[in-house]
Amino acid sequence: MVTHISLLLFVSFILACTFLSKCDAGDDNPKLHIVYMGSLPKTPYSPNSHHLSMMQQVFVENDSINFLIHSYKRSFNGFAAMLTNHQKEKISQMEGVVSVFRAKITNYTQLDHGTS
């Protein structure tokens, strides 16, 4: 009886791991990412135009402007965009891209101040 329960738990664990890994890998919903491209060039440069042209290379439709959230152009070169996993991989392979990572969204309106 104990071996049947152990076997059932083991099979359940394997199925759960398989399901969870497939859910994450197949998730193609756009998520907020930061595309970091290092420091700004010293030469005349239009970050907005460059970032938009990069987005147009990974979007099939002309929706790239709707998914470009923000261009960083003062302290570093990069942009925030809503990207699928596939689009993230394509952008990360482009020349000049240092890294692409998921943005952590923090909701400051629900801060817990505690009771004093």
**Residue 51 belongs to domain with CATH number:** 3.30.70.80
Please compute Rg for the chain using Cα positions.
Answer: 21
Domain residues for 74?
A: 28-105
The verdict on residue 52 lying in a domain is yes
* 82 falls within a domain: yes
Report pLDDT for 3: 54
Q: What's the whole-model pTM score?
A: 0.67
Domain assignment of residue 5, yes or no: no
User: Rounded to whole angstroms, how far apart are CA atoms 86 and 58?
Assistant: 9
Average pLDDT (68-86) is 92
Instruction: Please write the tens of the pLDDT for every residue from 32-63.
Output: 999 999 998 888 889 899 999 999 999 877 77
Q: Give the CA-trace dihedral at 34, 71, 83, 36, to 10 degrees.
A: -30
**Total structural domains within the chain:** 1
Q: Is the pLDDT of residue 113 over 50?
A: no
